[in-house]
Each structure stands twice: as C-alpha cells, then as structure tokens.
Structure 1
Amino acid sequence: MTALEQRSLALLRKESLDIFSRLHSIAEDILFVNQIREFYPEMPILPNLRCGAWYTDPTLRQWPALVANCPVYFKSTDGHFNNWSFTLRRPNLQLLYFVAAQKDGTGIILVDSTRAGKRIPDALSKTVPIWCAVINRAVKEVYPQGKDEWDTNLYTPPAAVSNQEHDQIDRRLDGWASALANSSYDLPNLPFPLRPIWITPTSSSFPSLAKDRTFLPIICLSASKQVQDGVERRSGGYAYVQGSGDDHELWGMGLTPDIFWQHRATLLDAERAELPTLVESLVAANAETRIARSAITPINKVRGLVLVCANSDLCEMPEPDVAHIIVGVHLPPLDYSGPNVLKIQTWEGKKGQFQLLQDVLPRSMEFIQSHLTTENKRICVSCDSGTDTSIGIAVAALAKFFNDAGDLVLQGDNGVLLVNKNAIRMRLEWIINSRPLANPSRTTLKRVNEYLLSSNSFRAPSSKPFPSL
C-alpha cells in the first residue's frame, strides 16, 4: 500500500467514527430494508435489538403490545463459535406467540446488521437458527400428536456456517430442546415448524414463499452491505460504515433509534459541522419531555401477588393495596413513604453486591412476609432498570413464599418450602414468562442463590444497619 493510499484509508477511518457518516450509512441501509418490506408487504417487520432498531421504522413495525414492551433480543454471543447456546434466560417466547398468531403462517422479518468481516451477524446466522430448531423440537416433545412429519432440522446459511460447525451445533440441540420442554415455560402448539431464511444486500433474488408452505418463515434480514475494511467512500460526502447501528453508545452522543426516527429528516439534512450540536439539543429535549411508560408487570404464576418494574415506571402515588420495595443507586423523587414502603439506596459495583446479600435481601424478605401475611397486600419490587436487582429480590420471594404450583405458603420465620437450585431456576422462569425483558446479572443471581441456600444467618436482617451512602 502506497503512502497516499494509507493516508486515504486513515481519513476514511477517521470519518467513519463521526456521527455524520454513521447516520447517513444507516439511512442508506434503510432503503434496502424498505425494499424487502415492500416485497413482503404482509409480513410484520421487527428489529433484533439493539442494532436492528436503527433500520426499522417504528411506525411500520406492526408491533403488538407484547412485543413492543418486551423487544426481541437474539444475542450474537449465543452464536459465537464454540459458545453456541440456547439459554432459558432469553427464550424470546413473546416472539413465538406473535409468530403463532399470524394468519396463514405469515411469519416475520427480523432485522439486524453486522460490522466489517461478516455478511450476516452471528445472531442471524446461528443464534436464530438454533432458536428455531430448539423450539421445533421442544414443541414436538410437548405436543407429539400429529407431528410425525414435523421438521426439526437445523438450517444454517452455508456461506456463513461451515459443515463442521453446523454438525457441532446440531449435536447440542436435543439437550437444549428437552430443557425447554421440561421447563416451567408455556409453549404454544405451533401450526407449523419455524424455518429461518436469509436475505442480504448481495442476494440476487428474494425467496418466493408459496401460500401452501408447511413452515413458518423467519426471514433474517442483514441490513448492511459488506464492504472492504468495513468503510467505503460515498459521493454524498460521507464514508459508508458497515453495521453503523452497532454499539451506538460509542458514537451516538446519547442519540437513540427512537430519537433518530422522530427527527430523521432534520438529522440527515444537517451539515457535518452542525450535526453534533443538533444531536445534543435533541437528546436534551428528549430527556426533559420523556414520560415514563407504565410497565408494572404482575407475575402471572402467582396471580399478580408479586409485581416488578423499573423505578421510572412508578406512578406519582402508590395504589392502596400495593406495598412497595424501591431499591436503587438513585431513588426516584416520589412521595412514597409510610409502613407500606421500603426504600433502600444501594451502592454500585462490588459493594452493592455485598449489600444485596447482607442487607437488601434480608430486609426485603422480612418486609414481604409481613405484608403478604398480615396486610394481605400485593408486593411491587422496583429497581433502577427493572431488569436486575428487582428481579433478584422477586426470585428470592417467590422461592421462599410460594410453592411450585404458585400458591402462597407462609408458615414460621423461614417458611416451609424446600428451596434448591431447580426451584430458584423455576421462579426466574415464571418472571421471564411474564416479563421477557427481565435480565438479572449472573452476579445478582449468585447472591440470590447464596442467600437462599446458605445458613440461616443470611435469612434475617443484620442487627447492624448497612452503612449509608
């Protein structure tokens, strides 16, 4: 490579880091996504979070309430080589119910993208195919009648997945399917098996889906063009960046897909020099006008006696028949006080995890037991995200105070239930079944396991208050 070529490549890479090139690259890819949407006008189009949301117009996604509040998330890491997985913590069953409800086996279009080096992201080339095959096998195991010809094969794109890797994945499918079939999740009896189909900007033609087909198509749409080095000069004054929507926290200056789609024309009309200031103003305005969406989720298995949400989802005034546990690094400025409210401000990092085990869980369990027994109230647990600490507290409460049928059992200081790892896993599945966005960290779940499975010294609030912040 000559010195001039090296300088040109360096300039391209510098431009690829700026928000101007990123947004215009996304706009270029949106044209292709819209072309596919017009080719399959009856098929709902959904993004695979997080990247896919940049390429799908929210007004055209046709999301039902279930999928809108609990977006689909197939992680690329679950498809990485030698790390293949179908995890019961991310079963994406809300998508399964949505697909099953489509008339005449319409199927869906699932949109994602990937950066340089690949034509199809691992999420679409392997994670989704694993999901389809596991679902198909689990459904056949749960509903065997009439499924002699049910297709349980693994389908992967040959250009992205070698025969050796395909075979290695295939050998693991039965174990994952049995785990799903024997879990506490409710699987719908699908009319047809799922089958992934792949479309990229290099596709010479788009599959024609016959009306008499015997499968539910999951069209895996990779939005971005594969370009050399991941960057390519465009005549519009920007550098095209493959997979621009990926990791927007690193380049977006606080911009989100929703803000982008609300102000798309304004952002794309802005000059490169004025764009950062415009983005800052839009992000600031969005923060000032954002209204929290009501997303308090009752856990269906226990008939809504336990609810979970984010602190931002709480209403201005609590309901009279609900007791609240509110935990977080930054507690919301709400007028929640009195004997029906337990507020715990938490530390961040390792100190916060120690606090969860020694302080938050013991105090929360005492509070929950008291209100479920004597006050006959429902319990709402909230945290900063609504996906982590509050879920851990709810898992502990469901394990301590509810049996495997979801019935309330309160006898004695420590209850009468036999708590083991299977019971804890089952309670987490109850929560995910009602609130698919629940995603407690491994560290949080480890603290919950330690609390529930260790000696009774962890089961009562410490006599010494945890040091205040």
Structure 2
Amino acid sequence: MNLNSIDEPRSEDVLSYIRKESLDVYNRLHSIEEDVAFVDQVHKSYPSTPLLPNLRCGAWYTDPAVATPVPAYFKSTDGHNNNWSFNLRRANLHLLPLIIKRQSIILVDSTRSGKKIPDALSKTIPIWCSVINRAMLLRHLSLKEERGVDWNVALYTPPSTVSRQEHHQIEQRLDNWARDLANSSFNLPLLPSPLRPVWITPSTSTFPTFSPKESEPPKFFPVICVSASKQVRQGVERRTGGFSYIQGSGDDHELWGMGLTPEMFWAHRTRLRAAGRTDIPTLVAEIVGSENNASAIQNPPSPVLHVEGRLLLAAINEIPQSPQDANIRYIILTPSSEESQTVDDTHVYIPTVSGKKGQSHFLQTILPLSMEAINQALQGGKNVCVACESGKDMSVGVVLTALQLYFGGDGLYISSNSAYSADKRSIRTRLEWIIESRPQANPSRTVLKRVNEFLLTPSTFRGVPSLPGP
C-alpha cells in the first residue's frame, strides 16, 4: 500500500468542520453551561457584590435570579484599536449610584475571537473608569481640595491584553472625554472613591481581595471585569461530556440560537441541559414558539425625568393591553405593511417601513404625524408614551424631537413651538435626558440624522400628512 496516496485532510474541510461544530446549538448551550459555572464561582467569592451582565453577550452567563436588574452596555467597538471612545450615548452613569451604595460591581462579558478578554472589558471599561474619575475633579471642585493627589485618575488596562503603545494612545484622549462629560447635562453623583477596573478570567489562579478599613473610605471602588469563557487558541476543544467547547458561545446568538434568547435560556435551562443532542433542535423550536406567543409585559414604560414624566418611552411589548391610566396617550410605531394610520381614544398606530425607504418615511411621515399627536395630547393635558418594537431606537428619535419642540431647556412644557430654537447642543442635551431616564436607549445614527434634519432645516417637513380622526 502506498502511504503517499492517502489524502491529507484539506484545510477547507477542516475549516468547514470547525464552522459546523461552532454553529451547533448543543455545543453552544453546553459551553455556556461551563462558563456559567465559572461565573457562579466568581460571584460566590464576592457574594455581596452586585452581578451585572454586559449586554448583550453577558446575559447568557448571569442568572437573572441572582443578577442585579440594572442594564450595563459597554460596547467592544468603543475599545477597538484607533476607535477608542467615551460615548455619551452609552455613558452608563446609572451604574454610579449602585457602585456608591455597594462599593463595587461585577460586570460579566465574553469574547469569541480567541482573545483572553473582550475589548469591552480590557479597554472600554478602563476608559469609562478613568474618564469618570477625571470628570469628578472637574465637576466637583471640592473633591480636589479634599482628596488632592489621593484621587487616582490613572488609566488601568490589563498588560497581557493591551500593549503599552495602545495604552499610551488612549491616555492622550482621556482629558478631552472627561471635559465633554463634565460639560454635559448628565447628573454626576459624587463618588467617595475613584473607580478602578480589575480583571478575572478562567486562567486567574487567585482572585483579588479587597479589604478596606472601616474607619476610612476605600482607596478605590473595584469594577470587577469577568471574562466568562476560557481562551481557546484555535477552533474548538472536545470535552469528555460529549460536546465541543466553543469560546464565547453567547456571542451573536442570531447565528446559532434558532431564535433562542438569554431570557428563554434561563427560563428553560433545566430542560435544555437535560436534552440530548438530537432532541435539542426540536426543544429549542418549541420554546421559541411558545415564548413568542406569550404577551407578558417585561418592564413598565420609562418616564423622561427632566420633563416630569410628560413623555414616556417603551417597547411595544411593554405597553399594557388594557391601559389603566386614562391620562396617557400611546403612540405606537408598529412594523406593518399597511400604509395608513389608525387612531382610537387612547392609541395612535403609525406603521414603520424597513430598509432604505424607512429613512425618508421616518423623516417625512413618522415624525410629522407623531408631533401632531404629541402636540394635541400635551395641549389637552395628557402625557404621551411613544413605543417602537425595541423601545430603544425610533421611539427615542420621536421623543427626542418632541422634547426639542415642546419643552424648554429647563424641562418645562412650552404650549407653542412657534418660537423654539434648536441647535446640535440643545438636541444633544435632550438626548442625554432620555439616556439618563432610560439607559437602554440606543438610537441608531440614521435615526439621529433624521431627527437633526427635521429640527435644523426649514419647517416644510412638518404638518403634512395629518392624522385621521379617532
């Protein structure tokens, strides 16, 4: 037999096999289970410290029964090389009262790219900590007099993950970001101690300890960044339990999850964990189908605090089916192929359009119709709740426009918008009001561009078309 005639496996065949393994829902869910065990181990080491998932990926690894129900959204892209940013649209300042109260938090995330720590934990959060520490000195002058050199504003990054060159390049930008934050309209509660990130991964041999003296404030409040998944250099790793371990399995669940979400995973975790490989696809389809048919309200609408709740934001599934508050008018931006609007005593339904046509539709139809309905309701003494499918995007654009048209810089209602004055700064300030009231708000650049176009160009876009009568 000629051994030389035996074909070696082709590289494309190997890659195809790895790709198939990595998309297998059975492998994914069992890999997540392995990572959940590690996160549980970390949390047991700091039982009094709030546990928060970094959305979206981190939600797969944190049990909602023990996690603190406070959203945290630190994007990896804000930490990508040459794209570093402290984004005021994702300021995460709502975490500060929790940190002040509990003196620490645990943030959980993961990465699938073969790295040890995701950029969100290795760079975005270190930027966040340092910028907030610096903004504290700018906003609270007494802090500098009281703490002086003891107030540490240094940038801390994991040296095994972030090079000294990249670390230095980030440092050069921190003061400008801190000035932007200090000059914003955001409330910046006074921190008793500066923030400082620390990192824990599955390769960490000894977890750090924090034991401040009770007689004085701690030198820093630790922001414990937990990278949940074990680093896999190439491909996947076989486990004796009969599955292939995939690093960062919770990432991009749209590609492998068959519609499964972290919420569904935790609600049906016991059944999913017990199911065999051949049964998993059928079980997931059953769970997704039953959950999609459920209409349970997840969270109540979020009032914009700066205008005393005259305007509210929500996802469509957060709107009560039988509204109890007759003083609220609901404007619902609903995905629909219908081109007409419908109005009843409590609701205005405005269909949205997807794709490129949706941009002009949002500008020329949704914003004018929404402003007409909001103006009528506000003049009649009613509050207005605007909802879109996610509660994070188009509804934010509508409320942002209404805040600029019908509310002054002091947050008081203006009965007529004939004398309103808008510029990019005033629009940005009102967006900060929204983010402070609803931290998960995350309007797309496209929506914000259309809002600016609507507010900063002549009013020929407004007033046409008009709503039908109820």
List aligned pairs for 1:95-106, cutoff 5 A: 95-102=95-102, 105=103
Deviation (angstroms), 1:338: 3.1
- For 2:4, the equivalent position in structure 1 comes to none
Distance 1:154 1:367 in 2: 48
AA partner of residue 187 (structure 1): L
SS at match of 1:327: strand
Distance 2:235 2:41 in 1: 23
Pick closer, same or farther for the CA change 1:317–1:17 going to 2, 3 Å: closer
- For 2:57, the equivalent position in structure 1 comes to 51
Deviations 1:293-326 (A, max 9, x none): 2421111101111111122222223432122222
- For 1:420, the equivalent position in structure 2 comes to 423
AA partner of residue 89 (structure 2): R
List aligned pairs for 1:307-456, cutoff 5 A: 307-318=312-323, 319-330=325-336, 337-338=343-344, 341-373=347-379, 375-411=380-416, 414-456=417-459
Distance 2:94 2:235 in 1: 34
Deviation (angstroms), 1:340: 5.2
Contact 2:401 2:455 in 1 (8 A): yes
Deviation (angstroms), 1:12: 4.5
With the length of structure 2 as denominator, give the TM-score of the two structures: 0.91
SS at match of 2:167: helix
Deviation (angstroms), 1:339: 5.5
Deviations 1:121-158 (A, max 9, x none): 00000001001111111122111212312111100000
Superposed CA RMSD in Å reads 2.1
Deviation (angstroms), 1:331: 9.8
Deviations 1:12-40 (A, max 9, x none): 54222201111111111122212211222
List aligned pairs for 1:118-137, cutoff 5 A: 118-137=115-134
Contact 1:395 1:424 in 2 (8 A): yes
User: Structure 1 runs of 4+ off > 6 angstroms?
Assistant: none
With the length of structure 1 as denominator, give the TM-score of the two structures: 0.91
Deviations 1:420-460 (A, max 9, x none): 11111111111111011111111111111111110121232
- For 2:114, the equivalent position in structure 1 comes to 117
Distance 1:211 1:15 in 2: 47
Alignment of 1:28 onto 2:25: no
The number of aligned residues is: 449
Deviations 1:352-404 (A, max 9, x none): 2211111221222222223322x111122122221111111111111011111
Contact 1:309 1:386 in 2 (8 A): yes
Contact 1:13 1:231 in 2 (8 A): no
AA partner of residue 110 (structure 1): L
1:299 pairs with 283, 300, 304, which one? Answer: 304
Distance 2:359 2:10 in 1: 51
Distance 1:362 1:54 in 2: 40
Deviation (angstroms), 1:408: 1.3
Contact 2:53 2:62 in 1 (8 A): yes
Pick closer, same or farther for the CA change 1:415–1:224 going to 2, 3 Å: same
SS at match of 1:219: strand
Q: Which moved more, 1:342-351 or 1:48-57?
A: 342-351
Contact 2:295 2:317 in 1 (8 A): no
AA partner of residue 63 (structure 2): D
List aligned pairs for 1:197-346, cutoff 5 A: 197-212=198-213, 213-318=218-323, 319-330=325-336, 337-338=343-344, 341-346=347-352
Distance 1:287 1:342 in 2: 24
- Stretches of structure 1 that go unaligned for 5 or more consecutive residues are none
Deviation (angstroms), 1:9: 6.9
- For 1:144, the equivalent position in structure 2 comes to 141
AA partner of residue 268 (structure 1): R
Contact 1:12 1:233 in 2 (8 A): no
